[in-house]
Amino acid sequence: MLHKRQYVIGLSAIAIANAVNLLPAYFIRWTIDGLTGQVDGDPATPGLTLTVAGLYALGIIVAALIAGGFTLLMRRMIVVASRQSEYEVRRDIFAHLQTMDKAYYDRARTGDLMNRLTGDLGAVREMLGFGAWQIVNIVSGFVTAFAVMFSLSWQLTLIVIALIPVIVGILSYLAQQINVRHKAAQEQNSTIAAMAQENFSGARVVKGYAIEDREIANYREMNLELLRRNIALTKVDGPLRSFTTLLIGIAFGLILLVGGRLILYGGAGGAFTIGMLVQFLITVGRLTFPMMMIGWITGVTQRGLASWLRLRELLDAGAQIHDTPGRTDPTIRSLRGEVTFEHVTVKYGSATVLDDVNLHIPAGTFVGVTGPTGSGKTILMQLLTRSMDPSSGVVRIDGNDVRFIPLERLRDHISVVPQEPFLFSDTIANNIGFGIEARDLPVVPTGVTVVGLPPTPEIPQTPDPARIRNAARLAGLDGDIEGFPEGYETMLGERGVTLSGGQRQRTAIARAIVREPSILILDDSLSAVDTETERRILDGLREVSQGRTVILIAHRISTLRHADHIVVLDQGRVTEQGSHDELLAQGGHYAELERLQRLASDLDTDDEPVADPEDAADKLEDRLPLGAQEVKS
């Protein structure tokens, strides 16, 4: 336990405070017995002097001060420890989630993860703080109170004890119900959070299809289900306090009845006085709050345990892709960029996505990859970064199996521009420089207490402006940025929604370029830019490609034609490869793709009006291949 010392001090302090809190009842008893003459029965002497009464009053004040001091110490220990534990658990879970792979996030829901890191973690913190405090408060309060009550009257104490099995039995049943119903409510909270997150992220899609009313209705149904589950939880959580209050009222009534008889008829050897009855009642009264808290703490504990199990699910989840001790080679520190695929096959269940792919890419080569949609182009690149591992075969970089290269080292030398770039709600400069100056950052310790740790070194927040501007220039983005009112300090909306699609792609390209990686992968990342901007970006990529491997996935021939080597994938297999001219000469898929795109380009650029429909048909016929003209005729 990371905060053992704090909890030992804090829980000991509350036990001492509970014992000291019983002292005022003693002073009150002696005062009453002195006033009623039950301590000194001689009428010639005063039963209580003013000096003695003053000492009793001073004793009550001193006892209150001591108890208050220990209570303050307890709060400083336990409440602070619970907050520190909350920080540590949140830190460790977030750090653990950073190690999870693509397969995990394909299954996980963002809203659910956020709910666990907020609602569930809050319930655990409440259990560790106020819950732990009250558990010891209840236990120590009962122990000290029953010790005093037994010393006063065992008959009256038995009355109180008789009620405990009833309380425990009912509370055990209600606690089980609370656990089940709280977990159900938290799961529904996660579902609601996930839907809200998706709707906020996809707000433009919702509005574009004018389905706001449907989404509102779905959200309403989810909220009604949460309401039903919370009401079901309240039905077992609410009666706890009322039930405890009822039992305490019954106990007071029985104590007054039996205690009165002991005083009137001289029970307990005739030694039971009015002051002792008052002390007994005050002591039982001090148990009122702990007895009422039994129900509340039971609920807090059950909710905390249920939430902790949900958090443990996050901590216990393991990544399929990870460094393996004994297999990963920590001596690999640099990569040149030579890539080899040896008989690589990837299967999803019974479906084969890549089928026996063999491919060699020398270091420093500019390679283009194309093929029909679903041919496995993106999967091929994900194997390089170990977002996934092949079902069979080996992927090598510089002759090393990528499974032997430390993940951090592997990904530190590869930059990927995905098909759908993700931008952060930050400045353009920070988005471009997101991946630089990360190699020398201090490692954040996890699994340790925050107590006594040195301050975390300040993380650089301003990337090198010269590198940022150069990367923007190479990505063809510098002109757009200079047109923004705040230039590179322009704040972007969530996911970069304030930029156009082409600007988002170019920002992602600049972010990849600025890291100066050994291998640069662009996964259809020029699809949202016009031909002139594409030409500027390709010029920048040719400048960047000096001394590094560039893999460009694209569908447009204009994007691929200047690559050193072009690979064509179809149905998960490499069907063609060679230079642009070599592939045209082969007359395969690449040549057909080039012909169709050239035809489409000619039609788009030819804006000469044709009034006669037959002239328009003849013009289109001139552009059709010979075989198609023969069919038409």
pLDDT at 516 over 90: no
Least confident of 245-259, 434-448, 512-526: 434-448
Q: What is the pLDDT of residue 623?
A: 47
Residue 173, pLDDT score: 74
Q: What is the DSSP letter of 496?
A: G
Q: Are 429 and 465 in contact (CB under 8 A)?
A: yes
pLDDT at 369: 92
Do 397 and 410 meet the contact criterion of CB atoms below 8 Å apart?
yes
- Give the pair of three-digit tokens for residue 259: 């205690």
pLDDT > 80? residue 12: yes
Q: What pLDDT does 627 receive?
A: 43
Q: State mean pLDDT over 463-481.
A: 86
**389-418 b/e with 16+ CB inside 10 Å = b?**
bbeebebbbbebebbebebebbbbbbbbbb
Burial of 328 (0-12, 13-18, 19+ CB in 10 A): middle
Residue partners of 403: CB distance under 8 A and separation at least 6: 324, 327, 328, 386, 389
The model's pLDDT over 386-399, given as tens digits with 9 standing for 90+, comes to 988 999 999 999 99
Contact 7, 127 (CB under 8 A): no
What is the rounded average pLDDT of the residues 321-341? Answer: 88
φ/ψ of residue 316, rounded to 5: -85, -15
Structure tokens at 420: 């759908």
Mean pLDDT of 500-513: 86
Position 344 pLDDT exceeds 90: yes
88 vs 450: CA distance, rounded Å: 7
pLDDT for the residue numbered 241 = 67
Q: How confident is the model at residue 165 (pLDDT cuts 50, 70, 90)?
A: confident
pLDDT value, residue 233:
84
Rounded CA-CA distance 633/624 in Å is 12
CA dist 268 and 261 (Å) reads 10
Weakest mean pLDDT among 187-196, 246-255, 315-324, 458-467: 458-467
State how far the Cα of 566 lies from the Cα of 342, in Å rounded to an integer.
18
Residues near 438 by beta carbon (within 8 Å), at least 6 away in sequence: none
pLDDT given for residue 605 in this prediction: 57
* Each residue's pLDDT tens digit, 517-546: 899 998 888 777 777 777 888 888 888 878
For residues 478-500, give the mean pLDDT.
Answer: 83
Q: 354-372: per-residue pLDDT in tens?
A: 999 999 999 989 999 998 8
Q: What is the pLDDT of residue 398?
A: 92
d(CA 209, CA 43): 96
pTM of the model: 0.73
Q: Is the pLDDT of residue 467 over 60?
A: yes
Three-state secondary structure string covering 416-436: EECCCCCCCCCEHHHHHCCCC
Q: Tell me how far apart the alpha carbons of residues 178 and 236 are, in angstroms, rounded to a whole number.
A: 6
For the stretch 568-584, pLDDT in tens is: 999 889 999 999 888 88
Write down the pLDDT at residue 626: 44
Considering only residues 212 and 403, tell me which one the structure prediction assigns the higher pLDDT: 403
Provide the 10 A C-beta neighbour count for residue 186. Answer: 22
pLDDT given for residue 519 in this prediction: 92
Write phi, then psi, for 382 (nearest 5 degrees). Answer: -65, -25
Residue 545: which of 574, 579, 509, 569 has the closest Cα? 509
Higher pLDDT, 45 or 73: 73
Q: Which two tokens stand for residue 484?
A: 């923004």
Q: pLDDT at position 446, please? A: 79
Average pLDDT over residues 418-435: 85
Q: Check whether 11 has a pLDDT greater than 50.
A: yes
Percent of the chain with pLDDT over 70: 88
For residue 38, what pLDDT is reported? 61
Give pLDDT tens digits for 95-109. 888 888 888 888 888
Compute the mean pLDDT over every residue in the chain, rounded to the nearest whole number: 82
Residue 329 has pLDDT above 80, yes or no: yes
